[in-house]
Amino acid sequence: MNSKITKYLDITPEVATALAQGQAVVALESTIIAHGMPYPKNVETAREVEEIIRNQGAVPATIAVLDGRIRIGLDDADLERLGQAKDIAKLSRRDLPMIVARKGDGATTVAATMICAALAGISIFATGGIGGVHRGAEGDFDISADLDELSKTPVAVVCAGAKSILDLPKTLEYLETRGVPVIGYKTEQFPAFYCRESGLHAPLSAQDPATIASMLSVQRDLGYESGAVIANPIPETHAMDAAEMDRVISSALLSAHKDGVVGKAITPYLLSKIVELTEGRSLEANIALVKNNAVLAADIAVKLCALR
Ligand code: PSU
Ligand code: MN
């Protein structure tokens, strides 16, 4: 690896060994810990997700920036620090170099986690939901940097689709324009995070992890620089009622507007508002879908290793 890059990275021995030996590694983001879920459930979930990945025969690598170091793989104390941190920076592509230069701390979003994973040589990443085109983007241009990252960084992101706090049809259009494959796992529909269905057709679909791994392998062989979205519906047992979520999300969006929340604060604000409005039920759904995504991501990573 290029020493200009490695001087910024701290890869744990467990992850480094797995990568060197061609074993399956799954990246995990830290914004979901620091800004996506309340303490202590955030830390509990982060630990459980790592455990799930290990049980599937892969090595987890949770990613964050701590004291200016790009950390690939975190220990318990690091997870606790991120989970309890107040006002820790939310790092997307644009923010990462400044936090590293200032030797600061930051939680990585999907975009920044993809960048760090790719630098370390990790190609599969599990999370809850990706950012997307926000409702009203035709007015305020709010389009998550996650979407562009997916078009230029070769990391496949396993998620439960995107939330309807976003404009889902525009999100899919944008991904199409950027040439990002969106694959529904065992579904013909693009899943809507808390709900298994969005009413929108998934552009591609696959019935098993091996097919997804083969597609990723072809993508690499052909020199594509893009990643992929693997959209895995929330387990049926935890799916929420679509009509209820429509009401809750409308109400959360209205509060955000009233409170004047804009820019990168919007997504964390809406997530915590939704937890409040559903009296914690949306948090349980969120946890269940992240775990479900961890299983699939590890399965794909294991299959991909066998092919490469
Ligand atoms: N969606 C979730 N939970 C999250 C996020 C999105 O259900 O925690 C986080 C992810 O880190 C994602 C980021 O990359 O929010 C997107 O933020 P923005 O919309 O500001 O790009
Ligand atoms: Mn934004």
Kindly state if the Cβ of 36 falls inside 6 Å of ligand 1. Answer: yes
Q: Residue 106: helix, strand or coil by DSSP?
A: strand
Give the number of other CB atoms < 10 A from CB of residue 264: 21
| C-alpha dist (Å) from residue 226 to 123, 148, 179, 201 | 11, 9, 8, 21
Residue with tokens 């998934």: 202
What digits encode the pLDDT tens for the residues 191-221? 999 999 999 999 999 999 999 999 999 999 9
Tally of domains within the chain: 1
- Does the beta carbon of 113 sit less than 6 angstroms from any atom of ligand 1? no
Positions marked catalytic? 29, 163
Closest Cα partner for 180 from 153, 198, 145, 160? 153
First to last CA, the chain: 18
pLDDT tens digit string along 148-160?
999 999 999 999 9
Ligand with the closest atom to the CA of 166? 1
Q: Assess whether the C-beta atom of 30 lies below 6 angstroms from ligand 1.
A: no
Query: In this structure, which residue's CA is closest to atom 20 in ligand 1?
Result: 264
Per-residue pLDDT at 160: 98
* Euclidean distance between CA atoms 155 and 72, whole angstroms: 15
- Over 80: is that where the pLDDT of 1 sits? no
**The tokens of 225 are what?**
């620089």
Instruction: Report which protein residue has its CA nearest ligand 1's atom 17.
Output: 131
Handedness of CA 274, 279, 283, 284 (dihedral sign): negative
Note the pTM of the prediction, 2 decimals: 0.98
Ligand 1 pocket, 132 CB below 6 A?
Answer: no
Would you say the CB of residue 108 lies under 6 angstroms from ligand 1?
no
- Percent composition of the chain: helix, strand, coil (DSSP 3-state, to 5): 50, 15, 30
If you measure from the C-alpha of residue 271 to the centroid of ligand 2, how many angstroms do you get, rounded to a whole number? 14
Pocket-testing residue among 31, 93, 159, 289, ligand 1, by greatest number of atoms within 8 A of Cβ:
31
Q: Which of 29, 96, 109 to mutate to test the pocket of ligand 1 (most atoms within 8 A of CB)?
A: 109
Whether 60 has a pLDDT exceeding 90, the answer reads yes
CA distance linking residue 124 with residue 227, whole number of Å: 9
Question: How far apart are the C-alpha atoms of 162 and 158, rounded to whole Å?
Answer: 11
Share of the chain above pLDDT 90, in %: 97
User: Does the structure show a pLDDT above 90 at 90?
Assistant: yes
- Hey, what are 163's tokens? 């939330």
Report the residue among 127, 149, 274 best suited for mutation to probe ligand 1: largest number of ligand atoms under 8 A from its CB: 127
Ligand 1 atom nearest 107 alpha carbon:
11
Which residue in 91, 257, 25 sits closest to 249, CA to CA? 257
pLDDT interval class at 295 (50, 70, 90): very high
CATH number of the domain to which 182 belongs:
3.40.1790.10
Q: Residue 302's domain spans which residues?
A: 3-307
- Which of the two residues, 53 and 4, has the higher pLDDT score? 53
29 C-beta closer than 6 A to ligand 1: yes
